[in-house]
Chain A
């Protein structure tokens, strides 16, 4: 199974220290549960995109989101003519099971990963269990949405950290799925882009020239580290080539997004119902008790998260120090009780990341953890449906 995942699904990071990342059994959902999660994710996606559009016009709130200064400036410059265009918007909402029902811990609105596992690995596991089906083919739906929105046989640049094999594997897999649909893909880094007349051109030695669209798997908050010659600001504004996702997604990717809700006109009832109370850590007594989970505003894959009892003491001290000096870059989220499941490997905490493409639920990325914290040591589990999709 591991070799099938490696060679068929470009799943190359199958081991993290002592943890084998692929779980050999599936996480089975009743169809009604999947429908509930899909409906919630679609409602969240609608609210997210509406809030993002409003936030674009509210530069006064961008500092509150802990966006880098250069990024805020790029967003301000985008204001007069609007943000750079998007296409096939992909989001993943991470759901956790609690005694009170499903809750979300965060949304990956900028560069959600896990497509290889959600589509490829889930299909491999599903083939071993008669009478079950996958909840959807997220990568296929994403590739469909991209190719439908572009001219026939489009040329796409898949922009990512080329040196980072964990990201490269996602782009390799997506490239394969796009090629099945007649698209030409070029795997490149953001430093390979130039923007004559606002149109994205590759300056890669092996594949120069314009592209019809960009698929970005490079976090938007890292863009400002690029050389000035790359005109990285075009990811935020002034581009004529559409991107998936547009860099303005960073506005809702920030875990401090809930701190500006009161200043927005956009109603966010689903977010408010599902996300635990979220505060500026400087405003709550997180040092005493274990009610709060500390998260970096722009953290990824669970890195830097502080959870009393789950985070190692040394790491907890580092987080305390970081918040003391840079509290405005952190957020405190009220801790919720996650419900563990009994599995063949013992007790595990599940997380179901539901993907939406253009506000439609298309699949899920499952993870299991030995503690109520999903990070790089969580295992990947196929999310399958009991019975066929109705």
Chain B
């Protein structure tokens, strides 16, 4: 299967949600290899409390490979998985994209077998480690941390036009959603989309969630600030450069 064929399975023609699928990870799928040929595990008992497809769009915010695995599990109950992974690739990456790429490639074979209707509601897949790499980055590494932005998703108006009035966020953490995702959810909430959260660890019933107004909400320049990390406290120093550790104070130094 070529990279392009794989992308076409995850973002098939004629499916309304395909246009939001991010192609970045698919560009270098063939770079990823299975070091020990261990078969990937596709069991996902965590999704037992997810409601049957109806008026809800889902967001899975989980470690990348798990997000893909959950996407396939949710496809089997009628949701259309939409990968929104947006990490670039390079040598000596801060975030290892290969495990996600592997799962996308292997998952494509499984997804092919699922006969989803064209109007299946979406499940957007993002990597919860996008700004939290397992190892603290250091200068010399290729910084491919990323943020998810409101313009990466359909608007609330569009969601409603497709009969969707609720967004269910599925995650393993009990923490509040990260700032970047809060911007997405808050926009939807203000436009009348009901937000709920499901804890994948406990598998309990999804709970209604009131999204607090994040910093710089709806500011025209939020995107630029978020992407380049001019506000180190807001987005953890995310940006082009991996700053050198500061000798004073917490977090990263180097940024004004």
Using CB atoms and an 8 Å cutoff, list the residues of chain B in contact with chain A: 3-4, 7-8, 19-20, 22-24, 26-27, 86-88, 90-92, 139-146, 150-151, 153-155, 157-158, 218-221, 223-224, 227-230, 238-244, 253-256
Contacts and interface: CB of A to CB of B under 8 A. Distances in A.
Interface residues of A, number: 51
Contacts of A228: 254
Interface string A183-198: 0000111111000000
A75 to B, nearest CB: 17
A344 B56 CA distance: 34
Contact of A315 (B8, B19, B158, B220): B220
Interface of A: 2-3, 6-7, 10, 12, 14-18, 20, 70, 160-165, 168-169, 172, 187-192, 203-207, 218, 222, 224-230, 296, 300, 303-304, 314-315, 318-319, 376
Q: Which of A191, A206, A318 has the most CB of B within 10 A?
A: A191
Contacts, number: 143
Contact of B139 (A6, A7, A191): A191
Contacts of A10: 27
Contacts of B153: 17
A187 B27 CA distance: 16
B146 to A, nearest CB: 6
Contact of B91 (A163, A206, A224): A206
A227 B254 contact: yes
Contacts of A315: 218, 220
Contacts of B244: 227, 229
A324 to B, nearest CB: 15
A20 B16 CA distance: 12
A190 B241 contact: yes
A229 B254 CA distance: 9
Contacts of A204: 91-92, 140, 142
Given A17-B150, A18-B157, A206-B90, A7 B228 contact: no
Given A17-B151, A163-B144, A224 B256 contact: yes
A224 B256 CA distance: 8
